Amino acid sequence: MRHVLSVIVENKSGVLARVAGLFSRRGFNIDSLAVGTTEKPEFSRITLVVTGEDLVIEQITKQLYKLIDTYKVTDLTAAKHIEREMILVKVSINANNRSEVIEIVDIFRGKIIDVSDKNMTVEITGDYEKNEGFLSLLKKFGIIEIVRTGTVAIQRGTGN
Amino acid sequence: MSAEKMKGSKILLESLKKEGVTDIFGYPGGKVLHIYDDIYKSDIKHYLVRHEQAAAHAADGYARSTGKVGVCLATSGPGATNLVTGIATANMDSVPMVAFTGQVSSGDIGTDSFQEADIIGITMPVTKHNFLVKDVKDLALTIKKAFYIARTGRPGPVLVDLPVDVTVNKAIFNYPESIIIPSYKPTTKGSSRQIKNAIKMIREAKQPVVLAGGGVISANASEELREFISLTKMPVSSTLLGLGAYPYNDYYSLQMPGMHGTAFSNFAIQEADLLISIGMRFDDRITGKLDTFAPNAKVIHIDIDPAEIGKCIATVLPIVGDAKEVLKEMNAYLKEESIEAKEPWLKIIEKLKLDYPLTYKMDKNAISPQYVLEVLNELTNGDAFYTTEVGTHQMWAAQYLNHTQPRHFISSGGLGTMGFGFPAAMGVQVANPGKTVINIAGDGSFQMNIQELSTVSYYNIPVKNIILNNQWLGMVRQWQELFFEERYSSTNLEGMQPDFVKVAEAYGVLGLRATKPAEVREVLKRALSHNGPVVVDIRVVREENVFPMVPAGGAIDKMIGERGSI
């Protein structure tokens, strides 16, 4: 099962290497990873998307906690939460299909940020499913390049 | 307070004093010259080893035999990388250690400067934590953190990397009395609710077995374990690192489980309906094939490291906490309401112990390695520290030595590091002056840190090295015999060995030899009474195997032994 883990760590050099090293050493896979500072400058948040059985996720969580620099690990999957990922996608276009592409971008509330005769670059933000849906619709036009930020997520309401 | 600034190298030495460090093991080099200059002026005793790996193992032996944090020091680059095997050994066996390494100047880091190695990157997966000190102002606090992390929770090695400018620059020395690391708060007290549930399960169990591991020893919980067993009257098996936690030859003792454990221990585990695992981590050398391990048993797992619970086998009742704290609380409840001995089960155990004892053959003309260990039991009366190298001799030492005290059997379990025993014995001896320290070695392993004969000779560290010399890399040879149709690839050392007696003598160390059973006792007596280091070359039966044996990945009740398949 797909899990979104939100990990609060010390904001200092080398911490990401410890987390990445832990995953490679113990044979856990990371589907996506996003790192940034938080409302408190001394902390960073690492949002990890991982896939695995419950026991594997439990091990990942415990091993993350074992790192001295880890403050808190939250599995957002079970809680009500919001996920977002931004994707920049460059898609092939021509005179005939340009309006069709624009229509799809509009439906998905994407933003066209660059356009030329032969291709168009679109910025889209959404959760995993929406983004995958968008990309699958663009496929037939020919996707030239995709750049993704990795998923970030936050719990809804007043949850900590 | 005086606001006079102190050099980083001096801050290091003063911090070590604040931590109560009296002995360190190390090797100098370009990037630790300032530190060595302050060692020269300090009353902390520095032991110059002949290879940095030995410094780490010595610090390890020092720590395991005392429970204090062991300290080693090496220069940058190759000095630091030579420590790695020793650090990894300590990490696998949860040994509190702080390793200091020199580093090129902070401004030069990343330029492939002379003797530069990214020791932080290299040791990240083999330390509990590591630090690169970038500013001399952070030095004292970092050392405080390093010692705190090394000794608390599940102990482990911590490395502190010191760029040379940090040792040269000055800061005001202010060593914190106490420290709180908000992201690091090990749980020591077990949940009382869980502990009560555990007692209920023990009460209801018909065929329980206790598995005691290294965690019992590192928590100094041996007394509590002994009381726990006397209150519950359950059979108890000790892992390699747990040997000595419970008296080895006691009625309730099952001795060691696993690959080279006793058959009765393995059979008991397979028949158990409840396992109470304390400070052990279900290593594959204990469990064999996981699916077949203890098929009828529910598991109560007591461990200070939550990540160990459920890592290898499913646990019905986890208790996260320090073994000493948890056992104390259990004992308190048990004293209020006692548990009856499970007599039918104890009768089964009695019979298993009678039917499947450890056995070996005695020959009039050839020395059985097991016999040497039995003679040592007699001569030392159990009052000796033992270290081992890794291989067949190690397993015989585990099987045949009479382990009665915690912290007295010191062996590389998790990493299985050949070359560990001799330098570890140096550390044990430095920490325990006046005590008998014996390194049980194989002829292969002993040569992996044989250069330390120079160290023990110079400082007169009276370690007794007993080489059970079969002129083979015996454990690998055993596997080749059993699983590779006797193709002895690169394991026969016959004709390739040095004369160990002459080697010892060349270093100024007493060298002795025994080639016949009749000589063993006298030679060992001489070695033990000699006031100085000794190497005893004991020529043992060449093709002796360690039995019983569970083939790797097998079920632990499917053992091979002297009588064929057990």
- Tens of pLDDT along B115-153? 999 999 999 999 999 999 999 999 999 999 999 999 999
Query: Which one-letter DSSP state was computed for residue B546?
Result: P
Quick one: pLDDT at residue A18? 96
Give the distance from residue A95's alpha carbon to the nearest chain B alpha carbon, in angstroms.
Answer: 52
Quick one: pLDDT at residue B17? 98
pLDDT(B114) > 90: yes
Q: Rounded CA gap, B21 and A10, in Å?
A: 30
- Identify whether the C-beta of residue B503 lies closer than 8 Å to the C-beta of residue B443: no
Q: What is the DSSP string of B418-485?
A: TT-HHHHHHHHHHHSTTS-EEEEEEHHHHTTSGGGHHHHHHHT---EEEEEE-SB-HHHHHHHHHHST
Q: Rounded CA gap, B488 and B466, in Å?
A: 25
Per-chain mean pLDDT for chain B: 97
Quick one: pLDDT at residue A157? 86
Mark out chain B residues that contact chain A at CB-CB < 8 A: 120-121, 124-125, 128-129, 132, 149, 181-184, 305-307, 309-311
Q: Rounded CA gap, B72 and B488, in Å?
A: 38
Name which of B121, B183, B306 is nearest A68 (Cβ-Cβ): B183
Mean pLDDT, residues B468-478 taken together: 98
Name which of B125, B149, B309 is nearest A25 (Cβ-Cβ): B125
* Phi, then psi, of B210 in degrees rounded to 5: -95, 135
pLDDT(B482) > 60: yes
Q: Pick the residue of B91, B124, B301 with the most A CBs within 10 A to test the interface with A by mutation.
A: B124
Give the distance from residue B120's alpha carbon to the nearest chain A alpha carbon, in angstroms.
Answer: 9
Cα end-to-end span (Å), chain B = 72
**Vertex B478 angle, CA B477 and B481, to 5°:** 85
- Spatial neighbors of A24 by CB under 8 A, at least 6 apart, are none
Mean pLDDT, residues B311-316 taken together: 94
CB–CB of A21 and B132 under 8 A?
A: no
Token reading at B70: 């062991």
Ramachandran category for residue B115: left, alpha or beta (phi over 0 → left; psi -120 to 50 → alpha): left
| Predicted TM-score of the model (pTM) | 0.96
The answer to whether A78 contacts chain B (CB < 8 Å) is: no
Q: Rounded CA gap, B549 and B542, in Å?
A: 18
pLDDT(A159) > 70: no
Q: Rounded CA gap, A6 and A153, in Å?
A: 8
B265-295 burial, b at 16+ Cβ within 10 Å, e below that, comes to bbbbbbbbbbbbbbbbbbbebbbbeeeebbe
Quick one: pLDDT at residue A78? 87
Quick one: pLDDT at residue B3? 73
CB atoms < 10 A from the CB of B562, how many? Answer: 12
Q: Rounded CA gap, B193 and A126, in Å?
A: 45
Quick one: pLDDT at residue B563? 61
Read off the pLDDT of residues B512-553 as tens digits, 9 standing for 90 and up: 999 999 999 999 999 999 999 999 999 999 999 999 999 999
Q: Which residue of B has its CA nearest to A8?
A: B183
Of B217, B210, B192, B200, which is closest to residue B319 (Cα–Cα)? Answer: B192
Q: Rounded CA gap, B291 and B304, in Å?
A: 25
Interface size A-B, in CB pairs within 8 Å, comes to 33
Read off the pLDDT of residues B181-198 as tens digits, 9 standing for 90 and up: 999 999 999 999 999 999
Read off the pLDDT of residues B63-80 as tens digits, 9 standing for 90 and up: 999 999 999 999 999 999
Mean pLDDT, residues B412-440 taken together: 98
Give the distance from residue A68's alpha carbon to the nearest chain B alpha carbon, in angstroms.
Answer: 6
CB–CB of A21 and B182 under 8 A?
A: no
Read off the pLDDT of residues B151-162 as tens digits, 9 standing for 90 and up: 999 999 999 999
Name which of A10, A55, A62 is nearest B183 (Cβ-Cβ): A10
Return the bridge partners of A69, or none. Answer: none
The answer to whether A69 contacts chain B (CB < 8 Å) is: yes
- Identify whether the C-beta of residue B37 lies closer than 8 Å to the C-beta of residue B8: no
Q: Rounded CA gap, B401 and B409, in Å?
A: 9
Q: How confident is the model at residue B2 (pLDDT cuts 50, 70, 90)?
A: low
- Identify whether the C-beta of residue B196 lies closer than 8 Å to the C-beta of residue B263: no
Chain B hits for A42, CB-CB cut-off 8 Å, are none
Q: Pick the residue of A18, A45, A66 with the most B CBs within 10 A to test the interface with B by mutation.
A: A66
- Identify whether the C-beta of residue B15 lies closer than 8 Å to the C-beta of residue B176: no
Q: Pick the residue of B184, B282, B313 with the most A CBs within 10 A to test the interface with A by mutation.
A: B184
Q: Which residue of A has its CA nearest to B184?
A: A68
Quick one: pLDDT at residue B382? 86
Mean pLDDT, residues B347-351 taken together: 98
Chain A hits for B309, CB-CB cut-off 8 Å, are 62
B389-421 burial, b at 16+ Cβ within 10 Å, e below that, comes to bbbbbbbbbbbbbbbbbbbbbbbbbbbbbbbbb
Q: Is residue B96 reached through a cis peptide bond, with omega within 30 degrees of 0 on the bond before it?
A: no
Token reading at B31: 């990037």
Cα end-to-end span (Å), chain A = 23
Quick one: pLDDT at residue B564? 59
Ramachandran category for residue B556: left, alpha or beta (phi over 0 → left; psi -120 to 50 → alpha): alpha
Quick one: pLDDT at residue B399? 98
Per-chain mean pLDDT for chain A: 95
- Computed on alpha carbons and rounded to an integer, the radius of gyration of chain A in Å comes to 18
The answer to whether A65 contacts chain B (CB < 8 Å) is: yes
**Vertex B284 angle, CA B552 and B417, to 5°:** 90
Q: How confident is the model at residue B566 (pLDDT cuts 50, 70, 90)?
A: low
- Spatial neighbors of B112 by CB under 8 A, at least 6 apart, are none
CB–CB of A63 and B128 under 8 A?
A: no
Chain A hits for B121, CB-CB cut-off 8 Å, are 17
- Identify whether the C-beta of residue B288 lies closer than 8 Å to the C-beta of residue B556: yes
pLDDT(B468) > 70: yes
Q: Rounded CA gap, B120 and B163, in Å?
A: 12
- Computed on alpha carbons and rounded to an integer, the radius of gyration of chain B in Å comes to 24
pLDDT(A111) > 60: yes
Name which of B124, B306, B310 is nearest A18 (Cβ-Cβ): B124
Read off the pLDDT of residues A62-89 as tens digits, 9 standing for 90 and up: 999 999 999 999 999 988 999 999 999 9
